[in-house]
Amino acid sequence: MANRGSVFLIPSYLSEQNDASFIAPMVQDVIKNTSLFLVENVRTARRFISSLKLGIDIPSLQFELLDKKTSPQELSRMIKPVLEGKNIGIISEAGLPGLADPGSLAVAYAHRNDIQVIPLPGASAIQTALISSGFNGQQFTFHGYLPIQKNDRAKAIKSLETDLQRTGYTQVFMETPFRNMHLLDDLFQHLGNNTLLHIASDVFGANELVKTKTIGQWKSLKPNLHKIPTVFCIGQMS
C-alpha cells in the first residue's frame, strides 16, 4: 500500500483559445512530475501539455488511450504501474475527466483496487453551464448525451420538460458538436414556447455564448452551434 502511486484527475482546456493561465499552478506542478497519462485523445493531450511550456520533453512521456472501448484487461494493464509506485494522470478531451468522459472507468478501477484518487481543480463546461443558467443549482439532473435516433430523442426531450415541471429540477444535457443544430431544431419542435432554455457554447472561448431565453425567443435568434462544444439546460429561474 505504502509503495503505491496515485491517480490524478487533471483538468484541461475547455476551448482551443485557452492557454496556461487557465490551468492552476498546482495542476501544472502535477503534470511536470508525471510521465504516464491515460488520455481520451493522444494528440490533444500532447498539444495541451506542450502549450503549458513547463520544460517537459514531450517525446519522453507515455500516453495510453482510454476511451469507452477500453476493456477491463487493457485498463488493468494501463494502471499496473500505479501498483509499482508510479503516479498516473488522467486527461480528458476537454475540462474535467470523469464527467461524461471515459476517465470514470479508470477512477472506478482505482477505487475497486484501493488506489488513491486525487482530483485537481479545474473548469467543467457542465458545471459552468449550470451556474451560469440562473436555474435551480441545488437540485438538477445531468442526462449526458440524448438519444441519437430522432423518435427516441423526441421522447427524451418531452420527458425532460415533464420532469422539470413535476420536480423543478434543472435538466442538463449535451450533444456531439456536429449534431448540435439537429438537437436545437428538436428542442424548438418539442418544447413549449415558454420553456426556458440555457445555452452554454464555446465556454471560455472567443465565441462564447452563455444565455438563457425562452424557446420562443431562441427561435427568432437560432444561434449557429455547429461543431461548437455546447451544454444545454432547461429550468426555472430561481
Contact assessment for residue 230 and residue 199, using Cβ atoms and an 8 Å cutoff: yes
DSSP-derived secondary structure letter, 146: P
45-61 per-position pLDDT tens digit: 999 999 999 999 999 99
Q: Where are the beta strands (DSSP E) in 121-229?
A: 140-145, 170-174, 196-201, 209-214
* Cell matching residue 219: 427561435
DSSP secondary structure string for all residues of 68-102: TT--HHHHHHHHHHHHTT--EEEE-SSSSTTSSST
Q: How far is CA 188 from the centre of its chain?
A: 24
Q: Are the C-beta atoms of 189 and 150 separated by less than 8 Å?
A: no
Q: Which CATH superfamily is domain 6-119 in?
A: Tetrapyrrole methylase, N-terminal domain (3.40.1010.10)
Give phi and psi for 13, each to the nearest 5. -65, 150
CATH 3.40.1010.10 domain residues, the chain: 6-119
pLDDT string in tens for the chain (238-residue length): 558 899 999 999 999 899 999 999 999 999 999 999 999 999 999 999 999 999 999 999 999 999 888 998 999 999 999 999 999 999 999 899 988 888 899 999 999 999 999 999 999 999 999 999 999 999 999 999 999 999 999 999 999 999 999 999 999 999 999 999 999 999 999 999 999 999 999 999 999 999 999 999 999 999 999 999 999 999 999 7
Is there a contact between 78 and 106 (Cβ–Cβ < 8 Å)? Answer: yes
pLDDT tens-digit map of 89-112: 999 998 999 888 888 999 999 999
Q: CATH 3.30.950.10 occupies which residues in the chain? A: 125-235
Neighbours of 135 (CB within 10 A): 25
What's the whole-model pTM score? 0.90
The total of other beta-carbon atoms located within 10 Å of residue 196's CB is: 21
Q: CATH classification of 125-235 is 3.30.950.10, yes or no?
A: yes
Q: What is the C-alpha to C-alpha distance for residues 63 and 90, in angstroms, rounded to an integer?
A: 10
